Amino acid sequence: MANKKSTRQRRKRRSPEEMIADLQAQISDLKVRAEARQLKQSAAIKATLSAVKAIDKGIEAAKEEDDAKLRHALLDAREPLAKHLEGLGVSLPKMRRPKGPRPK
């Protein structure tokens, strides 16, 4: 039995400074999420989010119809809106980018 105890790794106890740093990181994450929630109450942000979601639906429909040109055009329209919203701190659903070469 003594062999088993010696082969186990000891639990590393965090110092108070490490615990404080982790809690401060959690607080800053909560503040960012609260700010994003506040932004989502804006009518302009709501409309922009719905436009991005509609573009995503259009991209999926174009994928089902195998229309690569339309998919790339919609993706080009989505990128600036998504960058702006992400810059404000609003999270967006992950977009699956089209695979393969861009049509000419």
CA 59 to CA 97: how far, in whole Å?
9
Q: What's the DSSP call for residue 82?
A: H
pLDDT tens per residue, range 55-97: 999 998 998 998 888 998 999 999 999 898 888 878 787 776 6
Per-residue tokens: 54: 């509609």
CB 52 within 8 A of CB 81: yes
pLDDT tens per residue, range 19-69: 999 999 999 999 988 887 888 788 888 898 899 999 999 998 998 998 888
CA 10 to CA 37: how far, in whole Å?
42
> Does pTM top 0.85 for this prediction?
no
